[in-house]
């Protein structure tokens, strides 16, 4: 993809929330007996990586049509419809069907809360949804996390750039702050669950803040590994692209520099980003354009591979009078290989003028991991509360309220609740960045084994967005 942009001058803490409106609605839920027949499900959320594996394999083998067909069949599963909008949007985008991709992404964007009020409303709906309380498997809809939301808006902006609507692309990127509401929603759900199960937790002497979760090795490793970024509702790829659009569409170099500074907060050192920040800072101080007369800029976003999948691990938690219980929880391994930088050669005719390498702008698995950690309070409280209800049910205690209406138990089953391994699996493993200012003219650029003829124009940015997944290459 080539675009031209014109320029002128250690420890999880459970947060406490007081949302009386949520709890008052919960109190109105009807009371009834528990259905002892376990509901049979055809889909297991812990099986999503294996269900989706054929799609990833086909893409890596450059069989895009086959990947789209297999993904379409996956989308018929109820628990995957929202997630499938993300996967479909990405595949259609890679197939140059940008209008169809826009529609797929729009269906996912409609589920993203755009205010605290909406996040509270969605949290209420989840708390009152009987699928939230299924004991043996995940029956609820996929809830798009913050880091995936930032990619959703970024890829939608890319669609608009491909359809020559830079203003709409910038408007889309301006909505990325909506990703912040996801964590708020998860905290509300966690606190709502504690309110629902308060009687059962106290009765069984279960202390939510003292479950021996600190002994869960996999979680500790993720906490230590992911500490290098502040949160996951920011995205350096999004911020860098937004800066380019702000400077080209609005000629707003001040806001562009602000966006570049935000990108730096989420990047563990990138000389090209630092170089761009320095150029824009100097331009603002001097009151000039970020470009010298007769020069333009080339920017390369290089997506490599596919994001790592979630795995499951067993944690043993202390549930007070109930004793130790094992839970299957989703994790990301902190031991994985990183892609090597890609060589960049720029030449005029037979003359080589630049020979260098890209640098990592973002490691997607790192962001996915930290986002998952932020969801652990909700996940742990939900599982523990349901386990407490199950125990009381086994002891023939009378149950009522929301969980008494919704829980379905088969007392012959003793395995832990399955880990939810659903995640957006067509995101890149990592994104590299290269940028350089060049004199106006025609050039040949080679990144790894991909060659492209480009034209650098005065005061403009030439953007190359490259996707490299196995045998599948796209510029």
Q: Is 163 exposed, middle or buried (0-12, 13-18, 19+ CB in 10 A)?
A: middle
- Cβ neighbour number for residue 16 with a 10 Å cutoff: 9
pLDDT at 223: 97
pLDDT at 39: 31
pLDDT at 389: 85
445 lies in a domain? yes
Phi and psi at residue 308, to the nearest 5°: -65, 155
Pseudo-torsion of CA 102, 138, 211, 194, nearest 10°?
Answer: 80
446 lies in a domain? yes
35 lies in a domain? yes
133 lies in a domain? yes
Residues in the chain with pLDDT < 70?
1-45, 398-417
H or E element that contains 352: strand 351-357
What's the whole-model pTM score?
0.91
Number of domains in the chain: 1
Give CA–CA dist 185/371, Å, rounded: 13
pLDDT at 391: 86
28 lies in a domain? yes
15 lies in a domain? no
16 lies in a domain? no
Asked if 447 contacts 302 with a C-beta cutoff of 8 angstroms, the reply is: yes
pLDDT at 185: 96
Give CA–CA dist 376/220, Å, rounded: 12
337 lies in a domain? yes
Instruction: Provide the residue range defining the domain that includes 40.
Output: 2-9+21-474
Give CA–CA dist 418/207, Å, rounded: 22
- Cβ neighbour number for residue 288 with a 10 Å cutoff: 13
């Amino acid at each position: 993809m080539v675009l031209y942009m014109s320029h002128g001058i250690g420890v999880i803490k459970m947060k406490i929330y007081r949302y009386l409106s949520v709890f008052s609605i919960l109190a109105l839920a009807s009371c009834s007996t528990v259905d002892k027949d376990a509901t049979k499900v055809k889909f297991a959320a812990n099986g999503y990586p294996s269900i989706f594996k054929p799609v990833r394999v086909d893409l890596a083998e450059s069989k895009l049509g086959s990947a789209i067909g297999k993904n379409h069949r996956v989308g018929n599963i109820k628990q995957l419809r929202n997630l499938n909008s993300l996967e479909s949007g990405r595949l259609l985008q890679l197939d140059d069907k940008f209008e169809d991709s826009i529609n797929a992404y729009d269906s996912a964007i409609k589920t993203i809360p755009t205010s605290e009020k909406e996040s509270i409303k969605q949290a209420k709906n989840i708390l009152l949804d009987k699928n939230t309380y299924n004991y043996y498997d995940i029956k609820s809809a996929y809830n798009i996390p913050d880091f995936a939301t930032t990619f959703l808006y970024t890829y939608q902006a890319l669609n608009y750039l491909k359809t020559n609507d830079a203003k709409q692309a910038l408007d889309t990127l301006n909505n990325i702050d909506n990703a912040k509401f996801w964590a708020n929603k998860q905290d509300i759900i966690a606190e709502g669950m504690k309110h629902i199960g308060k009687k059962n937790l106290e009765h069984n002497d279960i202390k939510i803040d003292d479950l021996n979760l600190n002994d869960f090795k996999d979680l500790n490793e993720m906490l230590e590994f992911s500490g290098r970024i502040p949160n996951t509702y920011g995205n350096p790829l999004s911020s860098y692209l937004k800066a380019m659009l702000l400077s080209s569409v609005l000629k707003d170099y001040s806001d562009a520099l602000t966006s570049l500074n935000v990108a730096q907060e989420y990047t563990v050192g990138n000389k090209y980003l630092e170089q761009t920040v320095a150029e824009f800072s100097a331009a603002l101080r001097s009151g000039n354009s970020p470009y010298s007369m007769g020069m333009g800029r080339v920017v390369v976003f290089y997506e490599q591979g596919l994001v790592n999948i979630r795995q499951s691990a067993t944690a043993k938690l202390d549930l007070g009078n109930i004793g130790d219980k094992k839970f299957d929880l989703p994790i990301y391994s902190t031991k994985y290989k990183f892609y090597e930088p890609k060589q960049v050669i720029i030449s005029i005719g037979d003359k080589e003028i630049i020979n260098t390498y890209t640098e990592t702008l973002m490691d997607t698995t790192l962001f996915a991991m930290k986002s998952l950690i932020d969801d652990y309070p909700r996940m742990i409280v939900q599982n523990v509360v349901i386990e407490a209800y199950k125990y009381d049910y086994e002891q023939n205690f009378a149950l009522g309220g929301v969980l008494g209406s919704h829980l379905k138990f088969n007392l012959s089953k003793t395995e832990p609740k399955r880990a939810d391994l659903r995640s957006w699996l067509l995101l890149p493993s990592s994104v590299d960045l290269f940028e350089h200012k060049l004199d106006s003219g025609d050039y040949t650029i080679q990144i790894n084994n991909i060659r492209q003829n480009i034209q650098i124009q005065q005061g403009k940015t030439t953007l190359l967005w490259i996707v490299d997944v196995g045998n599948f290459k796209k510029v």
